[in-house]
Every structure is written in C-alpha cells, then in structure tokens.
Amino acid sequence: MPQFLEVGVGAAARRIAVLAREGAGPPVVWLGGFRSDMRATKAEALDAWAAARRRAFVRFDYSGHGESGGRFEDGTISQWLEDSLAVLEHCVAGRPILVGSSMGGWIALLATRALLAQAPGRAPAGLVLIAPAVDFTERLMWDAFPPDVRRQIEEDGVYLRPSLYGDSPYPITRSLIEDGRQHLLLSGPITTGCPVHILQGMRDPDVPWRHALALVERLPGDSVSLTLIKDGEHRLSRPQDLERLIAAIEGIALAE
C-alpha cells in the first residue's frame, strides 16, 4: 500500500501516493509520463529489479494521476514538478538516480536544475531518460497543432486529444500550455552536473528521435550517452527494452 504525502496549501493541497522500497543506494526514483502511473510496466519492472538487488527504489503518482489526489485536467508542469520535488525531499535519502519516462524526462531535468540551485547536496547522481519529452507542451503539442485546435484551446480552454494508448481522449488545457512556457529548456544549455543516459526509439510517434538529438545538443560538458533503438516505439516496454533500461541504471550506479 502506498504512503501519502501532503503537497500544496489551501485549494492547491493534494495527496501524493508514494511507494518506497528500502535498500542500498544511490536510490532510484521513477518519474512517470503524461497520464501514466507508478504501477505501469516499466515502473513495475524496476521495482522487481530493485527487490532482487536490494536497491532503494521510490515511485509515485503525480497529482491527478493513478492513486494520487487531484484532477488530471487541473495539472500543470509547475504542479507536477512541485509534486516531484516534495517526494525527493521527504521520501529520498541521498543523491538519487532519476529515471524519467517521456514527460518524466522533462520533469527530471527541471528537478535537477532546482536541486542544483537550492540543495546541491541532494542533486542527482545520474539521469536515465526514456524518450524524454522535454518542452513537449510547446514543441510537440502547440507548435504541431493546426489552427483550429489552437483556437479551441484559446477560446474554450481545453482540447480533447485522441489517445493512441486508450479509448478515451485526454484534455489538453490552456493552463497546461501556458504554464509549460515557464519551464522551457531547449532554448539554451542544460546543466545536470551528472551522467545522463538517454534511451530513444526511432519509431516513436510521440517523441521523434530527432527531439532526443536536440536535447543532447543542449547538454554541453556533461557525460551524455544516447542509445537509439531502431525498432523501438514510445513506451520501450518490451523485454529487450527493459534490459537496456536496467543496464543504463546499473552503469550509473556502479560508477558511484
């Protein structure tokens, strides 16, 4: 059963569900994707790996996701970053390895920037990013939307976008788009202060592999590895993909 962490105050208060496994460090922290949850395939595989290796592993649901409180349509990058930083502060001991999937890759980089500025002793020991959707609200959504969708978002405040991974569409709100502009990273260099390993499928319909190359170009001076998986799609949840993911984490952990 998860433990719950209270985040935010007043009308913005919400309960964040966290699953924490004790073990040796550096602790591995899972940052999930947009509309995903902490019991999805990759997170479950990492929990099984952590149990077998007796490694510390923490996973959680952003507000409006999975078992956490709040409504998904009220969520923004600012709010989900706040959730992540709260979990890192209260549920993680030492310098973690952040594993960010899709939107979680963006959140991982934003959390790293915040920790380097505010608490460098808790800054990540490494980052493993899976199809990192950095700046996705602007580059992969707004810039790609046709004029009628942009108009609907501006006038109605929401667009119900069809999903490739479920039967029901999901809301893209004006608040999500506008808030995302406060957190854009790809316009300048991105400092992490730690090794970064990116796993990217070349058949990914959501995060094009050239988007990962654009991120690599913004990571000057850091130890950066990029693994392009020619037949890989967005989720990278096949057995061979999970093996690559675990190998990337272990490569960083063994270097600590």
Query: How does pLDDT run across 35-82, given as a tens digit for each residue?
Result: 999 999 999 999 999 999 999 999 999 999 999 999 999 999 999 999
pLDDT at 17: 98
Instruction: State whether the Cα torsion 168-140-145-206 is positive or negative.
Output: negative
pLDDT at 147: 97
> What residue spans in the chain does CATH classification 3.40.50.1820 cover?
3-134+190-255
pLDDT digit string (tens) for 9-40?
998 899 999 999 999 989 999 999 999 999 99
Rounded to whole angstroms, how far apart are CA atoms 207 and 196? 18
Correct CATH for 3-134+190-255 of 3.40.50.1820, 1.10.8.60, 3.40.50.720, 3.40.190.10: 3.40.50.1820
102 classed as catalytic? yes
pLDDT at 255: 75
211 classed as catalytic? no
Low pLDDT (below 70) residues in the chain: 166, 256
pLDDT at 165: 73
Which is the catalytic residue, given 65, 197, 211, 234? 234
234 classed as catalytic? yes
pLDDT at 246: 98
Rounded to whole angstroms, how far apart are CA atoms 125 and 31? 15
- Residue 58 has a CB neighbour count (10 Å cut-off) of 23
Which is the catalytic residue, given 36, 63, 101, 102? 102
What is this structure's pTM? Answer: 0.96
Which is the catalytic residue, given 135, 204, 206, 241? 204
